[in-house]
C-alpha cells in the first residue's frame, strides 16, 4: 500500500448534508472508500483537524472546519521525467513540469505529482500550485510558498492578470501556407460525456484565445497560443475548432481508448511563458522556459 507523504484536505460544508459525524460525511463524499477503510485510517492517526487533533469514528461533524487525510493506493506509476526549479523568492516558486506528470495529487497519482515532488525536494511543505496544467501538458507552473500571501497571487489568476503564452504543434495539409496567419477564437465550452471531457456548445461564449502560426514544415506547423480565459482544455478545443487539433491529443477530436502512457509521443502542447505585475513588489515579471516544441522531432 502506497500512502501519500502529504495530507490532502477538504472543508466540511456549512450546510450539513444530514450526518452527525465526520466519518459519515467522508463515506458520502468518497463513495468508493468504505466506512471500514476510513475507520482504519482514523485508528492509525491518518485523519485529523487543522490543528492536528485526531478525528475518530464518533467525532462530531463541524461545519466549515478543515479535515486532513492521507490518500492511499495499491499502486502508483512512476513518471520517468524530472521537474526543474527555475526561480524562487520569499513568496513564489516557478517550476518546469514535464509531460505526463500531474500538478497535484489525483487518480492513481499521490506522490508522483509536481507539487509533492517539490515539497520533498525543497522541504517547503506549504508549497501549493496556484494554477493547473493538464497532466499531458508540459511547461511553467507557479507555486505559492506562503499561506499569508497566497491570496494575492490567486487574485491575479482569477482576474486574468497573468499573461500566458503556449506553443502547440498540429498536422497540416501539404501545401498549406500558414506562417503569420492569426486566429481569434471565442466560443462556448461546456462539460461533455464522459465528464472529464469538454465540448464546444451553442450557449454564451465563455472562452477566448488568440492563435498564430509561427513556423511550418511540409506536414506540421508550430503555433503560438495566448489564452485570454482559462477554461478546462480550452487550447486543445480551440485548436480543434480551427481544424488543426494538437498532435498526439488522446482526447480531441476523438477520445482514444485508454492505454498506458506512450512516453515517445507526448501531447505537443507547452506552457512556454508567464508574465504579470507582482502584487507586492509592483515589478513586472516575465518568465520563459528553455524548452521549446520542435517540428523536426
The predicted pLDDT at position 138 comes to 98
Report how far residue 49's alpha carbon sits from residue 38's, in angstroms, rounded to the nearest whole number: 15
Domain end among 53, 73, 93: 73
Answer yes or no: do 116 and 175 share one domain. Answer: no
C-alpha cell at 23: 466519518
Low-confidence spans in the chain with pLDDT less than 50:
none
Query: Do the domain assignments include residue 297?
Result: no
pLDDT for 247: 98
The pLDDT value given to residue 175: 79
CATH code (residue 228): 3.30.2350.10
Question: Looking at the structure, do residues 100 and 139 belong to the same domain, yes or no?
Answer: yes
Tens-digit pLDDT profile for residues 134-186: 999 999 999 999 999 999 999 999 999 999 999 999 999 887 899 999 999 99
Same domain, 153 and 167: no
Residue 274, number of CB atoms within 10 A of its CB: 20
Peptide bond into 194 cis (omega under 30): yes
Nearest to 22 by CA among 41, 7, 3, 2: 41
Percentage of the chain with pLDDT > 70?
A: 100
Q: Which domain range does residue 246 map to?
A: 163-288
> What b/e readout covers 94-112, taking b as 16+ CB neighbours within 10 angstroms?
bbbbbbbbbbebeeebbbb
Last residue of a domain, one of 158, 184, 212: 158
Query: Is 97 in contact with 229 (CB distance < 8 Å)?
Result: no
| Domain-ending residue, one of 126, 158, 190 | 158
CA distance 215 to 220: 9
pTM, entire model = 0.90
CATH number (domain holding residue 28): 3.10.290.10
DSSP assignment of 26-61 equals HHHH-TTS-HHHHHHHHHTT-EEETTSPBP-TTPBP
* Structural domains counted in the chain: 3
Amino acid at each position: 500500500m502506497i500512502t501519500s507523504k502529504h495530507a490532502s484536505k477538504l472543508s466540511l460544508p456549512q450546510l450539513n448534508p444530514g450526518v452527525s459525524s465526520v466519518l459519515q460525511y467522508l463515506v458520502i463524499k468518497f463513495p468508493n472508500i468504505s466506512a471500514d477503510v476510513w475507520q482504519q485510517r482514523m485508528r492509525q492517526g491518518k485523519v485529523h483537524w487543522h490543528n492536528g487533533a485526531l478525528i475518530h469514528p464518533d467525532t462530531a461533524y463541524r461545519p466549515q472546519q478543515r479535515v486532513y487525510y492521507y490518500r492511499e493506493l495499491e499502486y502508483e506509476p512512476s513518471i520517468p521525467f524530472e521537474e526543474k526549479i527555475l526561480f524562487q523568492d520569499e513568496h513564489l516558486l516557478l517550476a518546469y513540469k514535464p509531460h505526463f506528470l500531474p500538478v497535484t495529487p489525483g487518480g492513481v497519482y499521490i506522490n508522483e505529482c509536481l507539487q509533492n515532488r517539490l515539497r520533498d525536494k525543497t522541504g517547503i511543505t506549504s508549497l501549493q500550485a496556484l494554477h493547473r496544467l493538464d497532466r499531458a501538458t508540459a511547461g511553467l507552473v507557479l507555486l505559492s510558498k506562503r499561506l499569508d500571501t497566497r491570496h494575492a497571487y490567486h487574485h491575479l489568476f482569477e482576474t486574468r492578470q497573468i499573461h500566458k503564452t503556449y506553443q502547440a504543434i498540429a498536422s497540416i495539409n501539404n501545401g498549406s501556407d500558414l506562417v503569420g496567419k492569426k486566429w481569434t477564437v471565442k466560443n462556448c465550452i461546456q462539460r461533455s460525456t464522459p465528464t472529464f471531457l469538454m465540448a464546444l456548445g451553442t450557449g454564451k461564449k465563455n472562452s477566448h484565445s488568440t492563435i498564430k502560426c509561427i513556423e511550418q514544415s511540409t506536414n506540421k506547423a508550430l503555433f503560438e497560443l495566448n489564452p485570454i480565459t482559462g477554461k478546462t482544455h480550452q487550447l486543445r478545443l480551440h485548436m480543434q475548432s480551427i481544424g488543426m487539433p494538437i498532435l498526439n491529443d488522446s482526447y480531441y477530436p476523438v477520445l482514444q481508448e485508454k492505454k498506458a502512457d506512450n512516453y515517445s509521443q507526448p501531447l505537443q502542447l507547452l506552457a512556454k511563458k508567464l508574465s504579470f505585475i507582482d502584487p507586492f513588489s509592483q515589478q513586472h515579471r516575465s518568465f520563459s522556459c528553455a524548452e521549446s516544441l520542435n517540428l523536426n522531432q
